Chain A
Amino acid sequence: MTTSVGTEGQMGGQPLGQQAEFLAEKMAEVRREISKAIVGQLEVVDGVLIALLAGGHVLLEGAPGLGKTMLVRTLAQAVALKYSRIQFTPDLMPADVIGTSVVQENGDGRKSLGFQPGPIFTNLLLADEINRATPKTQSALLEAMQEKQVTVAHTSHLLEEPFFVMATQNPLEMEGTYPLPEAQLDRFLFKLRVPYPGREDLHDILDRTTQGSAATVLPVVNGPQILEMRTVVRSVPVAPHVQEHVVKLTLATHPENRDNLLASKYIRYGSSPRGAQTLILGGKVRALLDGRYNVSLEDIQALMLPALRHRIILNFEAQADGRTPDDLLEEIAGKICAK
Chain B
Amino acid sequence: MDGEDDPDEGASSPPTGFLWWLRFVGSVLGRFWLTLVIGGTLIATLPAALPGWSAYVVKSGSMEPKIMIGDVVIVQRRSDYTDGQVVTFHNPALEGALTTHRLVSIHGDSVTTKGDANVSDDPRTSVPSDIVGLGRIKVGWIGLPMIWLQQHHWVPFLLFWLSVAGAVAAWRSDPELIPHQPRHARARTARV
Whether chain B is bound by chain A comes out as no
B contacts, CB < 8 Å to A: none
